Structure 1
């Protein structure tokens, strides 16, 4: 399987330059702010979001200053949302590091999130990047709506498939869609092409989330505790399908296990076994492949250059990864 570093080859120089520009975009005259933002930068993940921005831009036209601002804007607003999420979830870890709220308490964490949000807004406004700001602001709006929709539906623990897809479209896919749209928009390409790449990103984001959900019912250690979604009472596609295709009595029994016994390892294992034996994983895998193919079909509308090939590889990486 391809490594992420190989996929980054066409934009390796741009990603390296972006790191410096992103650090600069977070700078502040307040020492505490600088200490915390430097700590956040050290936790950077796989750089998937900037990759989608730069590769989408390369696909549509020359990568330029606007592209770097688009990538920084996405990262600033996304990082702000992660810091706030950790406060909401009372989480003490993020990517194997202590979270900001664990080290500096909730008040500081909320203020840091607000600061990053403001930095993103100012970066856009000061450079007249109103199109990019609109794209990313709409994504943040959808992410918030998706989270709240999930919280609302989690109380019932009996959601239908179309609600699940609405949640992940807003909560996860909207961000990747905004990365692709920002990359395209930064080149000044026509609106129709921007929309195409936004839809491409949405398809990839949905496939990515289904893959993530599948890990919860796997057998191997993938860096995410098996059964973690069940413990958090999240209704994911494999479980939704399995519940839909069983008897009413069994459905009531499984929902009762999730609702009242999600901390019991044996009961969680029982739910996992139910999903695996009910064809839930096979169904979710087929759905993931469907969205993957739809993403590939959209890319076929663009020139077959090194950026398109890297995007195709990146789609495969997100849906065929082991963790």
Structure 2
């Protein structure tokens, strides 16, 4: 499998430039805020979303100064959601390091998230990037709706595949779709191309989330620790498939384990074994590759280029990554 460093080579210079602009965009006159944002930047993730922005711009007309605004805007908002998520989930770790709320407590973490959100909005307004503002703001609205829809359904444990896809389309795919659409917009692409790139991003965003679902069941013994989603009572695609294909008595038993015994290691292992033996993992993987293929079909409408190859490799990375 290709590594991210190899995939980003065609846009390596642009990503390096973006990282400097991203750091500058978080600057504040408040020393405490500067310390916290410096801590966040030092522990940055894989930069997958900015890469989608730059490759999408490149394939849609070319990278411009507006592309840097789009990538910075998306990353500011994404970082804000991660800071807020850690507060909501009462999580004290992010990417192997202490989360902001673990070090500075919830009140400060919420305010930092709000600050990053405001910086992103101001960046767009100050540079008259109103099309980008609409695209990314719509994604943020969908993300919030997706989280709340998931919380509602988790309580009732009645989630169907259709509802699952609605949740992940809003909660995960909308942000990657906005990266691709904002990238195309920054290149001056027409509406048809922007829509095409949005649909591409949505497909790969869904595949990305299904891959995360599979990690929870210990696929390849890497990625997220086993059973984290089960402990949080998140109903994922492998579990949905297993429950929908189980006999009534077994289904009730498994729902009871998820709802009432989700902290007990032996019960978590029983749920994982149930999903594996029911074919839930194989089914989810099949669906993941289906969305990957649909993303490839969209890309095939663009001429061959380093940018198209870069996007194809980035798609493969999202479905073949081991963490």
Q: TM-score, normalised by structure 1?
A: 0.98
In structure 2, the partner of 1:227 is 227
Moved over 6 A (4+): none
Which residues in structure 2 correspond to 1:254-265 (within 5 Å)?
A: 254-265=254-265
In structure 2, the partner of 1:67 is 67
In structure 1, the partner of 2:310 is 310
In structure 2, the partner of 1:133 is 133
Deviation digits for residues 6-37 of structure 1 (CA, Å, limit 9, x no counterpart): 10010000000111101111111111111111
In structure 2, the partner of 1:42 is 42
In structure 2, the partner of 1:4 is 4
Contact 2:223 2:322 in 1 (8 A): no
Q: d(CA) in 2 for partners of 1:294 and 1:53?
A: 19
In structure 1, the partner of 2:319 is 319
Contact 2:93 2:102 in 1 (8 A): yes
Contact 2:218 2:225 in 1 (8 A): no
Q: Give the gaps of 5 or more residues in structure 2.
A: none
Q: CA RMSD in A?
A: 0.9
Which residues in structure 2 correspond to 1:136-147 (within 5 Å)?
A: 136-147=136-147
Contact 2:215 2:224 in 1 (8 A): yes
In structure 1, the partner of 2:267 is 267
In structure 2, the partner of 1:292 is 292
In structure 1, the partner of 2:109 is 109
Q: How many residues align?
A: 323
Q: d(CA) in 2 for partners of 1:194 and 1:7?
A: 23
Per the TM alignment, residue 220 of structure 1 is displaced from its structure 2 partner at its CA by 4.2
In structure 2, the partner of 1:118 is 118
Q: What is the SS of the residue equivalent to 2:156?
A: coil
Per the TM alignment, residue 223 of structure 1 is displaced from its structure 2 partner at its CA by 3.4
Q: What is the SS of the residue equivalent to 1:155?
A: helix
Deviation digits for residues 276-301 of structure 1 (CA, Å, limit 9, x no counterpart): 11111111111111100000000011
Q: Give the gaps of 5 or more residues in structure 1.
A: none
In structure 2, the partner of 1:240 is 240
Q: d(CA) in 2 for partners of 1:234 and 1:227?
A: 10
Per the TM alignment, residue 218 of structure 1 is displaced from its structure 2 partner at its CA by 2.5
Q: d(CA) in 1 for partners of 2:39 and 2:251?
A: 46
